[in-house]
Structure 1
Amino acid sequence: METVDNAGAPGARARRTPLTRAQITGFWGAWAGWTLDGMDSVIYALVMAPALTELLPNSGYKATPATIGLVGSILFALFLVGWGLSFIWGPLADRFGRTKVLAATIFMFAIFTGLAATSHTIWELGLYRFLAGVGIGGEWALAGTYVAEAWPEDRRKMGAGYLQTGYYTGFFLAAALNYTIGAHYGWRAMFLTGAVPVIVSIVVLLRVKESDKWRQAESRTEPAAARSRGPLSEIFSPRYVKRTTVAAVLLTVAIIGLWAGAVYEPAAVIQLALKNGMSKPDAIRMASIATGVLSIGTILGCLALPPMAEAIGRRKTLAIYFAGMAVTIAASFGWAFYLPNGLTPFITLLFVLGFFGGNFTMFSLWLPEQFETRVRATAFAFCTSVGRFVGAGVNFLLGAAVLHMGTLGVPVALTALVFIAGLFVIPLAPETRGEVLPQ
């Protein structure tokens, strides 16, 4: 079989460009931040019930299951609004560099996650989660942009897969912490563990070097029209407006599906475990195990996506992952959740749901390929922010639907329809397989 080397010459065995120490250090700094970001994001889902059970009476409300579900959804919607406002980090990163702004995002979400442990009312918890969301929302855009620019062309696609595993490793880490620290010391201790990323932010600031592509872009003289518009206006110029719009829609689809499953998965597992006769502490531990299963599946999905995208293209690969999400969300929440002994099939389906949840890797790989360096971070941050705003609204509607229908499964299962709609949008996106990262 004929092989191709890095330069594209036929007849030679493919060889990867070696990574420099700076590239390795930069990747691990970005990966660690993204891991702790994922851990922080899922902590709330794991501790929502015990935290609100304590804080609702302090705020003048009864801690009934319906109220916990509704207020929990509202607070998570606030968190997603904070994520949405994180588009501010993109223009800052395009102006001042990736690493400085990346460190700032990590520091912000760590501080306000830790402060959530001091909450006495739902209002305080909502404020801290909103501000933590602003920090968390910028991390993915900046980490994904940095790795795409810092790694050599023949390795950056797989680098996107490696990077995305960090977020779901964070899920697994949060589940492990909840199984141990959370089960013994409560929800406040869980939020305190979210302050650890402060150390990572300092390491990123001191040890990670700025990407050469950003330095080169800064040194180039841009056309006067581009300078006057700025990066946020530029991504809506005739050159980029279609790409920006389509990418934002596709990310919105992915975010709605991720959070419908991830936020309600622990509550669904706890309900199924209690129905099976487990004690409440054992049910909480089972939710941690289920989150770990979901995380392992997602990590595998992240690693499988880049080779598939290189083999069959970006659009076909995303279509496969979206179709998989539609089927498994409907099957897990619409079918297994209602079985008399549904705990085992539900958790089994969570693994498959997790695998297709690795669709987020596509955006870490694909978005940087669609925009040039001077607007790349802005475009990445904006497209992810739009999805979070819409996701916040959908999450609020889901909470209201759960309260109105008196069941968790059907409202979440209906989010499968969003992925079916996304299949019709994918053909509008540019196919960039085989193209190098634009300068």
Structure 2
Amino acid sequence: MPTTLDRQISATRATKTPLNRSQITGFWGAWAGWTLDGMDSFIYALVLAPALTELLPRSGYAATPANVGLAGSILFALFLVGWGLSFIWGPLADRFGRTKVLAATIFTFAIFTGLAATAHTVWELGIYRFFAGVGIGGEWALAGTYVAEAWPEDRRKMGAGYLQTGYYAGFFLAAALNYTIGAAFGWRVMFLVGLFPVVVSILVLMRVKETDKWERAEAIHPHVKHESSLKAIFNAQYRKRTIVAAVLLTVAIIGLWAGAVYEPSAVIQLATKAGMGKAEAARMASIATGLLSIGTIVGCLALPPMAEKIGRRKTLAVYFIGMAASIALAFGWAFYLPNGLVPFIALLVVLGFFGGNFALFSLWLPEQFETRVRATAFAFCTSVGRFFGAIVNFGIGAMVLNMKTLGVPIALTAIAFLIGLAVIPLAPETKGQELPS
């Protein structure tokens, strides 16, 4: 029989530390920014075909399917390069604080997304997407750093899962907007909707308190203001974990982005082959995106408890195996079936679930670095993979052009996860450890 003391201990363990108003407001500000980030990112995938069909002739190129595919890959690669350059936000956040710089990232991607609605040529659209990428890439690093530092130790792991759902809620929101506003008013209005995050950035700046951990670190280590945090993450203490984390994120980025970005085009092709009209096929792509997003949200929520039970490394291995299998089956098998639309969409839900692996990085990266360099490390590791992702994206575009098919080039990205599985054992296991000061 449990004693009174046993029951009191159990009750204490079951009761989570309550969140104060600042922590709640800060989380929802970060979550809303990350949601609108996801919406902004996926708007491009959804409006890719109509936007380039209009802009290519104005830029002196025929709007053939091959040219649309190649131009789409080039523009997305530019977006990823901009995202890669977003590591600049990390050192700024370590020096000036999380909330101000977080607001600046949201403001940047919102403004340039809105400007994309005014593009008259493919090159103008590419420039606007490049600068939008710079803003979008910084938001995840700063939102993840903020939640890890602001939330109590017994809540921050699940907070990482909650935060990551925002990005895929943004996918769902983009799909819903495309199904309604995009279908009725066109691609330019879809980009105009991206201006809404400006309001969020202002609220973040005005309402959210700076994290206590950052303020304490500033008080204890005032010399850090004059020290390069970017240099610090490559010193003897952090070099290995910085490189390993960057490689693992590169793998995740290559795999998920290849599947997610080309998913609407693949669904449209399959829906058209099934006899659907142009408008109906576009709506089917929106529905498929919504299902992909729901699957990923569930995957994000399932991940923190798994990481607490079996550890960070084993959890990432499970998610990487799931991603490799679902991408290979969806694009390498279902895409080529005579009636492949239904099995392809079913596999997208599975792909989405394991795409929740990004939630692990929101949980794991802050545990590997102390406060004075945490934002820099997070921003660098989440950004560097975009450069390699851009190179891979150029390669995918060339393969699609030469092979005259979308499925096989995307299916081959599953190979990246095999590399990731080999690298995972080199990462530190931080299960059961508190966030470093």
**1:100-249, aligned counterparts within 5 Å?**
100-221=100-221, 229-249=227-247
> Which residue is equivalent to 2:429?
431
> Which residue is equivalent to 1:313?
311
| 2: CA distance, partners of 1:41 / 1:208 | 25
Q: Which secondary structure state, in structure 1, belongs to the residue aligned with residue 354 of structure 2?
A: helix
In the alignment, structure 2 segments of 5+ residues that lack a partner are none
What TM-score do the two structures reach when normalised by structure 2? 0.97
**1:3-18, aligned counterparts within 5 Å?**
13-18=13-18
> Which residue is equivalent to 1:290?
288
1:389 partner letter: F
| 1: CA distance, partners of 2:408 / 2:310 | 34
| 2: CA distance, partners of 1:360 / 1:254 | 7
1:306 partner letter: P
| 2: CA distance, partners of 1:247 / 1:168 | 22
- State the shift of 1:242 in Å: 0.2
> Which residue is equivalent to 1:303?
301
Q: Which secondary structure state, in structure 2, belongs to the residue aligned with residue 432 of structure 1?
A: coil
2:46 partner letter: L
- State the shift of 1:357 in Å: 0.0
> Which residue is equivalent to 1:31?
31
Kindly indicate whether the alpha-carbon contact (under 8 Å) linking 1:102 and 1:138 is maintained by their aligned counterparts in 2.
Answer: yes
- State the shift of 1:11 in Å: 8.1
Kindly indicate whether the alpha-carbon contact (under 8 Å) linking 1:82 and 1:130 is maintained by their aligned counterparts in 2.
Answer: yes
Kindly indicate whether the alpha-carbon contact (under 8 Å) linking 1:2 and 1:12 is maintained by their aligned counterparts in 2.
Answer: no
Q: Alpha carbons of 1:182 and 1:315: their partners in 2 closer, same or farther (altered >3 Å)?
A: same
- State the shift of 1:221 in Å: 3.0
Q: Which secondary structure state, in structure 1, belongs to the residue aligned with residue 63 of structure 2?
A: coil
Kindly indicate whether the alpha-carbon contact (under 8 Å) linking 1:116 and 1:188 is maintained by their aligned counterparts in 2.
Answer: yes
1:136 partner letter: I
Percentage identity across paired residues of the two chains: 79
What TM-score do the two structures reach when normalised by structure 1? 0.97
1:377 paired to 2:363: no
1:431 partner letter: E
Q: Which secondary structure state, in structure 1, belongs to the residue aligned with residue 14 of structure 2?
A: coil
1:111-140 Cα offsets, whole Å, 9 max, x none, are 000000000000100000001000001000
| 1: CA distance, partners of 2:17 / 2:133 | 36
> Which residue is equivalent to 2:274?
276
- State the shift of 1:258 in Å: 1.2
RMSD of aligned C-alpha atoms? Answer: 1.6
Kindly indicate whether the alpha-carbon contact (under 8 Å) linking 2:95 and 2:225 is maintained by their aligned counterparts in 1.
Answer: no
- State the shift of 1:14 in Å: 2.1
| 1: CA distance, partners of 2:136 / 2:189 | 20
Kindly indicate whether the alpha-carbon contact (under 8 Å) linking 2:331 and 2:408 is maintained by their aligned counterparts in 1.
Answer: yes
How many residues get paired?
A: 434
Kindly indicate whether the alpha-carbon contact (under 8 Å) linking 2:80 and 2:389 is maintained by their aligned counterparts in 1.
Answer: yes
Q: Alpha carbons of 1:77 and 1:2: their partners in 2 closer, same or farther (altered >3 Å)?
A: farther
| 2: CA distance, partners of 1:165 / 1:227 | 33
| 2: CA distance, partners of 1:291 / 1:87 | 29
| 1: CA distance, partners of 2:260 / 2:403 | 20
> Which residue is equivalent to 2:53?
53
2:386 partner letter: R
Q: Which secondary structure state, in structure 1, belongs to the residue aligned with residue 221 of structure 2?
A: coil
Q: Alpha carbons of 1:12 and 1:374: their partners in 2 closer, same or farther (altered >3 Å)?
A: closer
| 2: CA distance, partners of 1:94 / 1:125 | 32
| 1: CA distance, partners of 2:158 / 2:390 | 31
Q: Which secondary structure state, in structure 2, belongs to the residue aligned with residue 171 of structure 1?
A: helix
Q: Which secondary structure state, in structure 2, belongs to the residue aligned with residue 341 of structure 1?
A: coil
